[in-house]
Amino acid sequence: MPLRSTESGWGALVRLFHWSIAILILAQAAVGLWMVQLGLTPEKVRMFALHKSIGMTILALVLLRIAWRMSERKPADPAGMPRWQMIAARATHLALYVLILAIPLSGWWFNSTANAPLVWFGWFNLPSLTGGLDPVWKPRALLLHQTLFWFLVALLVVHVGAALWHHFRQRDDVLRRMVAGPAKRRGGGN
Ligand code: HEM
Ligand code: HEM
């Protein structure tokens, strides 16, 4: 199982980053939407701490993912793919990267403006971005965190829809190679 991506498919590390971050973001969204509805109970406090810890983990993984991805080239697009689709895919992927970076950063920013604690899984403290309470920027940071999240949801509908369309309508390798990696050499000469 090659670690690096090749002309015909994604390497193991890209796939590991893609699917682990995808699963963490789905869990994170569920925890986030659920925790804000809870009454002020110890459970709410625990859920907030968990949300922040998972969120900071996602931020670290996204930074590593981007660093690794910059050292690699993308596998070739399916033969005959129209130019507008290549551009649309590139633009969507770029926007996804921007959002999965900006959402945890905005959460960290909001948490800092609220002067709330930030302890990674009960292990160690992470610093504040604002150095204390900031009542002016606090509601803006929260609005940003929420708005970016809904942008991500909308973009994911397009992203997942495109992946399924490639797989079931185009019957090409786009989804398969993100799940299983580079194609094996087939017999028959094509
Ligand atoms: C990819 C990462 C993240 C995702 C997808 C995410 C998603 C969400 C969602 C969906 C909500 C509920 C919004 C609402 O309906 O009011 C939320 C709230 C919140 N998030 Fe995040 N979040 C992420 C990262 C973070 C990080 C890193 C922090 C802090 C270090 C954070 C801090 C918060 C806080 C404090 C709230 C509660 C806001 C309130 O009091 O209403 N989030 N997040
Ligand atoms: C939170 C969830 C997800 C996020 C943030 C996300 C993000 C991304 C990003 C940024 C890329 C571009 C990779 C690169 O060029 O470096 C990508 C590729 C891809 N994603 Fe996702 N993804 C998510 C969920 C999914 C799901 C659920 C599916 C399948 C149903 C999927 C299928 C794919 C496929 C097939 C590619 C490769 C596209 C290609 O080869 O050009 N993704 N994803």
The confidence score (pLDDT) of residue 189 equals: 34
Give yes or no for residue 179 CB within 6 A of ligand 2. Answer: no
Closest listed ligand to the CA of 48: 1
Assign 30 to helix, strand or coil.
helix
The confidence score (pLDDT) of residue 2 equals: 85
Give yes or no for residue 180 CB within 6 A of ligand 1. Answer: no
Give 146-174 pLDDT, tens digit per residue: 999 999 999 999 999 999 999 999 999 99
Contact 144, 101 (CB under 8 A): no
Give yes or no for residue 138 CB within 6 A of ligand 1. Answer: no
- Residue whose CA is at the smallest distance from ligand 2 atom 10: 93
The confidence score (pLDDT) of residue 183 equals: 65
The confidence score (pLDDT) of residue 168 equals: 97
Low-confidence ranges of the chain (pLDDT < 50): 186-190
Cα 127 to averaged position of ligand 1 atoms, centre (Å) = 17
The confidence score (pLDDT) of residue 182 equals: 72
